[in-house]
Structure 1
Amino acid sequence: MSENSPRNKKLSDDPELSDDALLQPRADQVYAQLLSRVGESSPRPRLEPTRRAAALLGDPQAASPVIHIAGTNGKTSTSRIIDSLLRAHGLRTGLLTSPHLSRVNERIMIDGEPISNEAFIAAWNDIEPYVTMTDAALAQEGEAPLTYFETFTLLAFAAFADAPVDVVVLETGMGGEWDSTNIATADVAVFTPIALDHVHRLGSTIAEIARTKAGIIKQGSVVVTAAQDPAAAAELSAKADSLGVTIVRQGDGFDVAAGTMAVGGQLVSVRGRSSTYGDVFLPLYGAHQAQNAAVAVAAVEAFFGDGTQALPLDVVEEAFATATSPGRLELVGIDPTVIVDAAHNPHGAQSLTRALEEFFDFDEIAFVVGVLEDKDAEGIISALAPKATRFYVTQSASDRAVSSDDLAYIVKKIADSDSTWEYDEASEALAAARAWAAEQPKRAVVVTGSITLVGEAIDIASEEGWKP
């Protein structure tokens, strides 16, 4: 942090504000100021303004080594498992993910916990003068001010430097090359599976999208990649070769050796670069989560060295056992069963339906679905339809949500119109789906299609006590 940073005294020095909950209104005000900027759905393909503001702050992104994660699906789960592995090693971590489910604090994790309101406000106090200075300079140059995500990334880096943390785990917001997180230099650049998504921003082919995401690879990085479509694999290899850096591929340097169902999750065996970590319990469902765990192990092996030294098995066991991925095949209700999953593109929806087939024994499933306007709604519904008994179509409160009318039209083209119900309010769709599921055993409700809808469902489940 810059020596001239106008940091106020710690907010906890004020006895009237020692309870973090009392700081919520002030934290909400900071969030409102961030939201007043151009939103995440309209990112600027640029890095220079974020770099300029970071330099004024003393380049907090350089305060700790970085593991940087890009990809289309599995980024958040993989990031959280990496974070868990690092903490099990005794390291203090900073984790940046996006988007959030309920509160924005979830996006910035410090040592495994969401950032406190106090630290969130303090980080804003640190960066706000320099954000203002950068905005003014940009205006003089005829450039747009810093966006929401550019500013939020700066806030996260400031919070991590202030904590301080030993290592930062960064999930890209969109793409990679011009994503604002890419002002950091990755010690390890990690790639989860790359598929078609955000085609209006990243490109219309997997190769174009992979080329953009490959931008997080830097001189001196070690690259760790999940199994990829051949076009994506070629782009990642080309970038790594151009920089002369090591690339570790799933199926070659590491892989999932085995996986079996278990109560509350699965037992997985991961073959690392120097050892196999056998029959480790992972409290997450789906073969894709076993894949994410394997990528995470390879990334942490790379972080600690050249991959020739195995991680302690007890550390892997502790890390996996305590790993969480909220909103990903998460049980939020019982009697009837309600599961939420943040699948928001066809690739994610396919992973969801495979997991429902492999890990659960439901006779009938009602999908409560809502989709954002920049997503492939037809592709998502087509992936869900083979497992759907009913669709309860709705919309989240997001201003980017496809209207329930428009989405219902799409659903009825793909599924039986007699099994499709439409609700303007998510709460009404959830109530109707739960009422139907409660009529018979072995029925379930699955909420999916957008992260915003999943977040609302989690909040409603908590408020109404669906899972006592």
Structure 2
Amino acid sequence: MDSWLVWLEARNPHRIELGLGRVRAVWDGLKGQGFDVPTVVTVAGTNGKGSSVALLEAILRAEGYRVGAYTSPHLIDFTERMRIEGVDIDPDGLVAAFTVLHAQPGSESLTYFEWATLAAFIAFSNAVLDVWILEVGLGGRLDAVNILDADLALITGIGLDHQAILGPDRPSIAREKAGILRTGQPAVYTDLSPEPMIPEVAEAVGADLWVSDRDFSLLPGSEGWVLKLPMQPDGQVWPNPALKGRHQIHNAAGVVALMRHPRNPLSVSDASIRLGLETTVNIGRFEIWSYQDRLIILDVAHNQESVRALIDNLMTIQDKNDTVRRVAIFSALEDKPIEAMVSIAGSYFDTWYFAPLTGMRAASARRLRDALATVGGAGVVNEMGIVPAYNQALADSAPGDQIVIFGSFLTVSAIRPELIRAGAHLV
């Protein structure tokens, strides 16, 4: 497996060539060899995709379905991208899928993400599953997973991300995300500020779309939350999801609404929905660790909307006496709105530690220094990297302090193994 992954990395994981021609041609060849597709659920959006996939996976597995989940990017290991029955794909299964794909005519033209996507399709087909849950990597309309006509579709919140590729504004980005919609397909769009472009596309293609606050709504409560649906105007109470963060209730509402859509071909009981909500796990999303009497908080917040959600979640664990020092460890990729992200969170933290990531797409130390200047508070740029910055913050902090690591999947993935090795534990 390691040799295959080295080979795959050499294909340039940062190359992006949106379009379905290459990947569809290779998949058509594979279908002729007997690779079958069961019920497909496709999840697109800017924020909340990974959590929504995890919620769907837990609910459907609780009902007894055999489920495969495809997500990206991974935090630590490539095998995280493909889960079969709740477990990361085993090395033998990944090697088998890569071997089949490598022998397929046209596979040499695939991008890194297209290769990973078709490898997931092969592995899932080999595992004989009931449901495939597929997370869109970028956009929707021209993303590799969209070669399959999803039986159900979920579109999460739309934000400004990848604008050079998807378009300059929310309507343009929304149009790309809406590319996963199909005629007659049950679909749900959950967004705190729904973009009109999504229902416009749904109407044009004939998708049966439910929109947040138009067709369904939620009311938070002390012991759970209430979801109101067209056939249940008085609402139904559901338990808070195991995933931490107030925004996860909104993600859960979209997932439950999709499961309760009258055209959903999958039968799912209330008991399975409850069990799934209460047992969902998704690493790197507002994870709270305890180490040396400090709270270490990991979050893959990597754009303005997710940073706002992070701050909102941090406020829920704010010390009532306001005596806790809050320290930020931050880094991001060059194409992210670094200055805006830092400005949003600037006043919340007492001290900032910046450090450059590795790789061609990483923001430079100079840009991080410029971003630090926008904070207007105490801070330092550690040019040695994320782990040295974390060690520096840990040494400078005191018992009771909170250390928050965010800004990129790569930022979190650098620290999470350090916490495990050090014996930190999840709260």
Residue correspondence of structure 1 range 197-216 to structure 2 within 5 A:
197-216=161-180
Matches of 1:374 and 1:360 in 2, distance apart? 31
Given that residues 127 and 155 in structure 1 are in contact (C-alpha distance below 8 angstroms), is that contact kept between their aligned partners in structure 2?
yes
Q: CA deviation at 1:316?
A: 1.9
Out of 290, 300, 315, the residue aligned to residue 259 of structure 2 is 300
Out of 100, 114, 117, the residue aligned to residue 126 of structure 1 is 100
User: Residue 37 and residue 53 in structure 1: after superposition, are their counterparts in 2 closer, same or farther (change >3 A)?
Assistant: same
Q: Which moved more, 1:201-210 or 1:242-251?
A: 242-251
Q: Which moved more, 1:171-180 or 1:354-363?
A: 354-363
Q: CA deviation at 1:219?
A: 2.1
Counterpart residue number, 2:283 = 326
Counterpart residue number, 1:54 = 27
How many percent identity over aligned positions? 28
Amino acid at match of 2:186: V
Counterpart residue number, 2:376 = 415
Q: CA deviation at 1:180?
A: 0.6
Counterpart residue number, 2:74 = 100
Amino acid at match of 1:368: I
- The root-mean-square deviation of aligned C-alpha atoms, in Å, is 2.2
Counterpart residue number, 1:271 = 228
Amino acid at match of 2:106: T
1:73 equivalent in alignment to 2:47: yes
Given that residues 75 and 412 in structure 2 are in contact (C-alpha distance below 8 angstroms), is that contact kept between their aligned partners in structure 1?
yes
1:256 equivalent in alignment to 2:218: yes
Counterpart residue number, 1:461 = 419
Out of 174, 177, 183, the residue aligned to residue 219 of structure 1 is 183
Counterpart residue number, 1:153 = 117
Matches of 1:117 and 1:124 in 2, distance apart? 11
TM-score (normalizing by structure 1): 0.85
Q: Normalized per residue, which structure has more helix?
A: 1
Matches of 1:111 and 1:425 in 2, distance apart? 36
Q: Which moved more, 1:312-321 or 1:53-62?
A: 53-62
Deviations, residues 6-61 of structure 1 (Å, cap 9, x unaligned): xxxxxxxxxxxxxxxxxxxxx1111122222232x331121011000001111778
Out of 241, 249, 256, the residue aligned to residue 282 of structure 1 is 241
Q: Which moved more, 1:283-292 or 1:370-379?
A: 283-292
User: Residue 257 and residue 309 in structure 1: after superposition, are their counterparts in 2 closer, same or farther (change >3 A)?
Assistant: farther
Deviations, residues 185-218 of structure 1 (Å, cap 9, x unaligned): 1111111010100011111111111111111112
Given that residues 372 and 450 in structure 1 are in contact (C-alpha distance below 8 angstroms), is that contact kept between their aligned partners in structure 2?
yes
Aligned length: 419
Deviations, residues 133-176 of structure 1 (Å, cap 9, x unaligned): 2056xxxxxxxx21000111000000110101101111000001
Out of 376, 382, 392, the residue aligned to residue 343 of structure 2 is 382
Q: CA deviation at 1:228?
A: 5.2
Matches of 2:133 and 2:209 in 1, distance apart? 19
TM-score (normalizing by structure 2): 0.92
Matches of 1:365 and 1:352 in 2, distance apart? 13
Given that residues 331 and 356 in structure 2 are in contact (C-alpha distance below 8 angstroms), is that contact kept between their aligned partners in structure 1?
yes
Out of 421, 433, 454, the residue aligned to residue 393 of structure 2 is 433
Q: Which moved more, 1:452-461 or 1:351-360?
A: 351-360
Counterpart residue number, 1:358 = 316
Matches of 2:230 and 2:10 in 1, distance apart? 46
Matches of 1:319 and 1:204 in 2, distance apart? 37
Matches of 1:394 and 1:99 in 2, distance apart? 21
Amino acid at match of 1:433: A
Counterpart residue number, 1:445 = 403
Q: CA deviation at 1:307?
A: 6.6
Please list every run of 5 or more consecutive structure 2 residues that lacks an aligned counterpart in the other structure.
none
Given that residues 412 and 420 in structure 1 are in contact (C-alpha distance below 8 angstroms), is that contact kept between their aligned partners in structure 2?
no
Given that residues 63 and 268 in structure 2 are in contact (C-alpha distance below 8 angstroms), is that contact kept between their aligned partners in structure 1?
no
